Structure 1
């Protein structure tokens, strides 16, 4: 068994030291109120005892933690009192993620996370190993995982020979147009990590097994500075809202003084508690604008730091990526785990002709959003469409729109929302000094264009091998789903849809559903059309599964070029 980096002992000692610090303090305070001889004044003495006990436990935990690479599994042993031994088969490993924070990069350390398909969390985490050891583990586990897939594929093909020619890559046909302008396609040899010998703890004889085949890495896409800035300024990260709230609670007085100072030239109050209702109205509007601006700037900074120096490549049948400024990430996207591919674009990105490409994988995803992972954060729309075609083999979709009756439904829905908003403003004016509640009725002017925009951005396409679903205006998503990845197809009808003869079709895959990414849904189509799509999808799912079992291929080409 190999051990972690020696600095891990220090980390665990500090971590468990602070965790155990409070145990004797709480114990002394509780016993001090029950047992007479025990005094709460002993707490300052008991605290160092708890810290030392926790630090000792952390050091023992370090020495009891071990890992090794075997021919068939990646083994991890941990635990001090209750021992836990895990053998992770290479065929179940979905991703080997390497993370480095600022301090870790300065010290040459890294965190290695082993993620398996179907898991909701990381299966095994190595905190910390040297950077060279992290690269060695990542490369060897990926290599062994690829060999397991090759052996399984060869066995199935030998058992069920196919007369069909092997089609393993999709060619775009063009030269320069087949690659994103921000990245140039080319080959890079990945140096053999087994030749490195700069680890603090030398590898075992099992780890020194020389692999018979050198894996080649093909560069597919590099996010250049221009695209990075465009992506940062034309996208929004929900995490920025939490960051803005943290800043507000951390420095509430300073933020309020800033808002008051900004609102004064526009007629705001000179100080909190000194002003008229009109000045407070100005302060409210200016504060809201400032809050939105601050949140947006935090989102820009967060996106820039997250996707700085984004690189996408291919090693055998897996996509590999690297990204991050302050915290560096390195991981992979197994092609055989890809459930669907989604092209994303908001109004600003559509205006400048750009889009992004995301993939949904089965199980845990390192993007902190379930199985959603960014394959290409931002590129020109025509290249994203070419990428999607080469990745999935989908034909150019001819979208069908819902019936015009759906647009009338959205018109009524948004009218009700506008009416509730006006009613809320009217209620506020009854208990405050605000007047002219009827000015809020201007929101009704936005109802017709909102209903129309929602309607025109809905569409679906039933292809021979794929189902394509488009929805959304502010964040339009076009999802390509191979039939063999479909888990269930269900028809749903609300009370209002039943009255109008409409239905929605929900297409579920094995990818994780998150708060941001919802299940692909074909909204508000005629009931008969929904039933036809449902039946067609089921039939083509069975055909695709039979064909896939006969050929035993990955179903998706890993060739972008």
Structure 2
């Protein structure tokens, strides 16, 4: 059994010591304030005792944490008072993620996270090991995972050969010449399309061989590098609203200076001189200026975050896996097993479409280390034609010939957005009844945005029912074009709301095993005519069954990485 790096004892001891100090001081504070028991002078004794006990716990935890790479599993043992031992089979491991922060890079340390298919969290985390040990573990586990996959494939091939041999044996009729009277079977004839097993039955090779090309598990072949120009374009055309929530935390810490600054900025354009003497109109200007200011700061932070997160992005292949590296201050590296891929999604926003650029994301079954939801970036940003060609060669999908929903759907969106605009105007009118807002009717200008909004939603809903793949496009602000192999479909269903039933429309919802389906809406073809929706559902179900039969006969493991 191996232990973590010795510096892990120091870092874990210090972290636990701080936790012990916090618990001790919190306990004394609660006793003296809420229960009125004891004295605050106890803090002098409790604080150092909590600090020392927490530090000792962290050091003991370090000595009790062990890991080992065995032939069939990755074993981890941990726990101080309650011992926990885990054996993680290589065939279940989805990703070995290595993360190196700024301080860790200075100390030569790394964090190794092991995720498994179907898991919602990290299965095992080695915090910390040396960079060399992290690289060794990543390559070793990746090689053994590929070996386990090859072994399973060889075993399945052997079972089918054995079953065919049993089917070819004559029945025990007592006639020794019964086999001579059998007519020639199909299995006696040469098969031009019969697949050659990748490895002899029972073998456990260290490579994956596809289409005559041998790719060793330790060898990597570069597929995509994010160039400096593409990195800058990706940074300046991306916006991450979630970072706004993080900025609010800092606003609450320094709320008075922030408010004073916003009042100063808003005053030249009609804002209040101070918060006590302003009018409703002044406060309205202050609100608008504050919102725009927050959006601008969030955008700048988003640009800096995206640049640092995707600096030096590289996508390669190693055996049957995709491997990626990225990050400036904090370096990430990990893998994407091809057999875990559920769908491939091309994404773009209005700015990226304006310059003919797009990105590509891969949805996997289980936990995704990059986003926590099984979604990982394979191509952050590149020229649109290059991305679509990359996607088609990866999935083997034909070039889609998109169809749109009926024009009745556009009229439905027009009515929907008109109702929303009407509610907004009514809300502004309600505010004018309790405040001095004389020109409330100017809010009706939002109706000008209704027709283009309805049209943009309609034209960005498209679908294509191919022979082997279903392609679904939806969204305007973040348009997603998802390519789904039929064999990855879990369920396909027709949904109808009350309003859709009145109009004779329906939506087709396609679910896969991707864990991202739990965090966002599943790929959906919205507002088709009912008959068309039923036809898409029935056709997709038939092709799903056909693809499952073909894969069962060929023992296909999934999308191939040998597509370049």
Give distance in 2, aligned partners of 1:508 and 1:107.
45
Q: Which residue of 1 is the match for residue 129 of structure 2?
A: 129
Equivalent pairs, count: 518
Q: Which residue of 2 is the match for residue 79 of structure 1?
A: 79
Q: Which residue of 1 is the match for residue 468 of structure 2?
A: 465
| Contact 1:322/1:330 (8 A) holds in 2 | yes
Match of 1:372 among 366, 369, 375: 375
Match of 2:349 among 335, 346, 352: 346
Give distance in 1, aligned partners of 2:239 and 2:272.
32
Q: Which residue of 2 is the match for residue 164 of structure 1?
A: 193
Q: Deviations over 1:1-31 (max 9, x none)?
A: 1000111111221222222224444555666
Q: Deviations over 1:537-561 (max 9, x none)?
A: 1111111111111111233121352
Deviation at 1:505, TM superposition (A): 0.9
Give distance in 2, aligned partners of 1:19 and 1:71.
38
Secondary structure of the residue aligned to 2:397 is coil
Deviation at 1:267, TM superposition (A): 3.1
Q: Deviations over 1:184-234 (max 9, x none)?
A: xxxxxxxxxxxxxxxxxxxxxxxxxxxx96621001111111111111111
Q: Which residue of 2 is the match for residue 188 of structure 1?
A: none
Deviation at 1:367, TM superposition (A): 1.9
Q: Which residue of 2 is the match for residue 221 of structure 1?
A: 224
Residue 91, structure 1, aligned to residue 120, structure 2:
no
| Contact 1:369/1:514 (8 A) holds in 2 | no
Change (3 A) 1:58 1:418: same
Give distance in 1, aligned partners of 2:266 and 2:481.
42
Deviation at 1:368, TM superposition (A): 2.5
Q: Which residue of 1 is the match for residue 233 of structure 2?
A: 230
Give distance in 2, aligned partners of 1:547 and 1:448.
47
Give distance in 1, aligned partners of 2:299 and 2:192.
56
Give distance in 2, aligned partners of 1:315 and 1:167.
22
Deviation at 1:364, TM superposition (A): 0.2
Q: Which residue of 2 is the match for residue 331 of structure 1?
A: 334
Match of 1:542 among 535, 545, 554: 545
Give distance in 2, aligned partners of 1:407 and 1:27.
61
Deviation at 1:279, TM superposition (A): 3.3
Task: Note the 1:347-426 alignment, pairs <5 A.
Answer: 347-426=350-429
Change (3 A) 1:166 1:24: same
Residue 103, structure 1, aligned to residue 103, structure 2:
yes
Q: Deviations over 1:76-120 (max 9, x none)?
A: 000011100000000000000000111011111000000000000
Q: Which has the higher contact order (CA 8 A, sep 6+)?
A: 1
Give distance in 2, aligned partners of 1:122 and 1:91.
16
| Contact 2:363/2:516 (8 A) holds in 1 | no
Give distance in 1, aligned partners of 2:474 and 2:196.
32
Change (3 A) 1:31 1:267: closer
Match of 2:249 among 246, 249, 259: 246
Secondary structure of the residue aligned to 2:373 is coil
Residue 455, structure 1, aligned to residue 458, structure 2:
yes
Give distance in 2, aligned partners of 1:38 and 1:254.
39
TM-score (norm 2): 0.88
Deviation at 1:469, TM superposition (A): 0.6
**Structure 1: runs of 5+ lacking an equivalent:** 169-211
* Structure label with greater radius of gyration: 2
Give distance in 2, aligned partners of 1:34 and 1:96.
47
Cα RMSD between the aligned structures?
Answer: 2.2
TM-score (norm 1): 0.88
Match of 2:304 among 272, 286, 301: 301
Residue 47, structure 1, aligned to residue 38, structure 2:
no
Residue 271, structure 1, aligned to residue 274, structure 2:
yes
Deviation at 1:144, TM superposition (A): 0.5
Change (3 A) 1:450 1:44: same
Q: Deviations over 1:270-325 (max 9, x none)?
A: 33324444433332322222111111111111111111111111101111001111
Deviation at 1:248, TM superposition (A): 1.6
Secondary structure of the residue aligned to 2:403 is coil
Deviation at 1:242, TM superposition (A): 1.5
Q: Which residue of 2 is the match for residue 193 of structure 1?
A: none
Deviation at 1:335, TM superposition (A): 0.6
